[in-house]
Amino acid sequence: MKKQVITILGLLILINASAQDITLPEPQKTGGMPLMEALSKRSTTREFSSDEIDNQTLSNLLWAAWGYNRPDKRTAPSANNKQELDLYVAKESGAYLYDARNNKLIQIHKEDVRKDMGKQDFVGTAPINIVFVAKNKGDYSPVNAGFISQNIYLYCASVDLGTVVRGYFDAETVSKALKLDDIQIPILTQTVGKKK
């Protein structure tokens, strides 16, 4: 009995240790390109390098998208301040949930599910796919996702990254790949990476 308990404890520790959450560096909230210049450079691309995005850039990107810029408010508006959207990130190293409060990526699993995030070929090789997921989709969830998406576009323009927002994905495939539950609904996806 004692041996079984030790074995079970060992397995639990091993399972816990295998999770590879990513604590992101503090986002850089100053500097950058002037807004009017970023707007003039805002564009869509569908050709991405497979080069990884470094953690500082990823931290800046996710904070710009949907981080906290005040104690209880975000960088993008949310109708009735519902803040019903979560951002999931699919990378080669696995699938993650963005914890904006702690500036951390919480690993869901270690599988590379980027190809499941959309139907275009580039989706499976671009370094980052962001999925906007609503908890109990409300009337304004697509609008709120649009605000976040535009923040991503402007950030990408300011640092010369490529991005494309996508509605062409299979919600059931995305939900399964990200291990979403029944009340979570993928609303929109967005690919980010260095331009080819």
What is this structure's pTM? 0.89
Q: Which domain holds residue 161?
A: 21-194
Q: Do 187 and 141 touch, CB atoms closer than 8 A?
A: yes
At residue 18, the pLDDT reads: 62
Identity of the residue numbered 49: S
CATH number of the structural domain spanning residue 29: 3.40.109.10
Phi/psi of residue 173, each to 5°? -65, -45
DSSP 80: G
Structural domain contains residue 2: no
> Other C-beta atoms within 10 Å of 29: how many?
12
pLDDT tens-digit readout, 7-45? 554 444 444 446 799 999 999 999 889 999 999 999 999
Q: Which segments of the chain have a pLDDT < 70?
A: 1-18, 137
At residue 3, the pLDDT reads: 53
Number of domains in the chain: 1
Structural domain contains residue 10: no
Say which residue the tokens 């050709």 belong to: 47
Give the contacts of 98 (CB within 8 A, at least 6 positions apart): 62, 66, 86, 87, 88, 89, 104, 105, 106
Structural domain contains residue 47: yes
At residue 109, the pLDDT reads: 97
At residue 80, the pLDDT reads: 87
- Measured in whole angstroms, the distance separating CA 169 from the mean position of its chain's CA atoms is 16
